[in-house]
Structure 1
Amino acid sequence: MAEQKRVTYTIDEQGIATVCLNRADKLNAIDMGMFQAVNATTRALKKDPSVRAVIVKGNGSDFCSGLDVKSILTSKTDAMKLLFKWWPFSPNGAQRFSLGWREIPAPVIFAIHGRCWGGGLQLASGGDFRIATPDASFSIMEAKWGLIPDMGGAIAFRELMRKDHTLEMAMTAKEIIGEQAKEYGLVTKIEEDPFEAAYALALECINRSPDVLAANKKLYHNTWWSSPGKALWLETWYQIKVALGKNRAIAVKRERKPDDKKDYIARQFK
């Protein structure tokens, strides 16, 4: 019997891609195959101009229970493959697992239920939005195994949480639930049906120009921690690129004639 694909995705007629972590029998725990499948998926979605928004969910009882410790840590070769990098300031395979979602020029929304622990939390933190059930649980679990979070958490957590909350979770491996995770900044919204809410948010986003979505995402990722000068320069440069694009004129027409909305053309902003 062929092994089930670790990650699957479909793109509907609206251009909304639904990505599923597909290792439900192991609570979507992350093994080498999951690392490879997620990284291949983000590369494919990044290159596909038809993708207007992305929703990521987990099949089964949990979004992702974290690292499959037995699988990864028992293979020194796999661990070295994940941690190896040619250039110290570029992401390795484990870090791309989270940071790769940032490179997709469209909104990425994580729909979370059940456990979102360890590497699963770092994965979800790489998205633009996180919508979770009230009873979803979150943990920076790595301390339990004598490790530190190393899948891009040093970037994602500092943008989402206060430093003391991050240190508390990373040092204790404590578990927090729904509303507390929202209070800490890990969760954007709490909803009973996070996928339905994620899809509704995706529809709101794709009502706007794909160039605007891509430019906003790139602008804020590139300037959130930059100098004021760099932020002002990129804001102006990206605005010029967006304003000169064909989708800008289409956006104006759509607002002036809401009953006769013309479709946007494929994303031009890069």
Structure 2
Amino acid sequence: MSSAILSETDKDHPCHYLRDQGFADYTPEDHATWAALARRQRAVLRGRICDSFLEGLDALGISDEGIPDFRVMNARLRATTGWEVVAVPGLVPDITFFTLLAERKFPAGYWIRKPEQIDYIEEPDIFHDVFGHVPLIMQQVYADYLEAYGKAGLVAARQGTLHRLARLYWYTVEFGLARTEQGLRIVGAGIASSPSETVFSLESESPNRVGFDLGRVMRTNYRIDDFQETYFVLDSPDAWPALDLEELIPLWRELDRQGDLAPADLLESDMILHRGDGGYHAAKRDAA
């Protein structure tokens, strides 16, 4: 299916981007950087991340001892959900990304940040991609959601609606929250791999926290330069949205008529779980 939906040339075909992880090439410093990141993040995630994430970490052998070997992880992933992690040199084109997801392959950078970048890097590295994203792929409903997302992305590329899918990914896979019996918990990889946003997303008075609605999310712009002004909250950690193309395509057309929303906007129709005071972003604007 994917080969028939690729772009007009083959430049975006996944074969041009896949690499060997080169596990033997990691230095002791690389493994030490991973270990420091993983220890810190496991500690801050305790009581804040959904249980299925921690279960996935343990089941995959993703520890704080050093960088995981994709070969070991993939044997466990394939046996559980039929997925595998594939190494790529960095960000890949949209069509490549969607094609890989549609084939149940998750692209992950194989390089790791330098020790001086331990608190922040601009481009996702192996820690973000593997520690943040891969544990939940052991959850069948999430694994199926990612595959459906990839297939929807290939269609969206033809429909001119890739921005809708980008927003959906951002507010679920990267920065999603979910309700549990114990309270709100993190399900997004962008939060799960960031100690500062882990705390901010759940405990700050600044951001809005709004019940998830598919159309609402796909109308909403997001921030790439700072903490989010709004977080969308799934009904549960396994309540990933169904992506039925027969429903998505007319929804995209309807959203084009409604117009976009700013990251901090709230609507009367929103299920507002927490109305943020906007203090964090207001203070930064005042200081600029």
Give the TM-score taking structure 1 as reference length: 0.30
Q: Larger RCO: Structure 1 or Structure 2 (Cα < 8 Å, ≥ 6 residues apart)? A: 2
Give the TM-score taking structure 2 as reference length: 0.29
